[in-house]
Amino acid sequence: MEQFQVLRDKAIQKIKVADHMLFMTYPLVQDPKLLLAIIENISASLDYSISALLQHERLFKRIPPYHDTFPSRFDIFQNKMLTRYGLNSNSVKLVKDVRMILSEHKRSPVEFARKDKFVICSPTYSLKTVDTNLVKKYIFETKVFVNNINKIVSKNEGIFTRSQG
């Protein structure tokens, strides 16, 4: 199995986990802190999808070598892959929004659960709330994104399977 196929499968698995956590686990537990764990899985799914696409492009020598860091991968994705494959520019906003929530969470001096929302306070005490509607929207958009990447990288998949003889 090629590296891009492994990354694609990880992306699919992560979004399935996020979906299951939101629609099966969250209604049972009712803990808004779980929303953050779901967003972490969404972020991982997005990152794996971008990595799968870049590994695919690298394998076909359509892009030069790149640093394997998120900023480098995201920059190449944003500048080269969006237009090449006609991907929706909303996916860039999705990735940025999800990553911003996670970075605000890391820098946050205070966070708490209030009713069905998870509230993150910035160091200047501006508030960012995460609720189920926001997470549902992110999951839906991520599923569409992962599906689009899957279609792109699966197009020539037949050439990577070994014939059983």
Q: What is the per-residue pLDDT for 162? A: 58
How far is residue 16's CA from residue 89's CA, in Å, rounded to a whole number?
A: 23
Within 13 Å, how many C-alpha atoms sit on residue 30's CB side? 4
- What is the structure's pLDDT at 163? 47
CATH code at 3-99+132-160:
1.20.120
Per domain, the residue ranges of the chain are 3-99+132-160
d(CA 132, CA 42): 13
Q: Could you tell me the sign of the dihedral formed by the alpha carbons of 32, 91, 101, 42, in that order?
A: positive
Structure tokens at 95: 């990735």
Cα separation, 80 vs 114, whole angstroms: 41
- List of the chain residues with pLDDT < 70: 161-165
In whole angstroms, what separates CA 142 from the centre of its chain?
Answer: 6
Count CB atoms within 10 A of the CB of residue 140. Answer: 11
Distance CA 33, CA 132 (A): 11
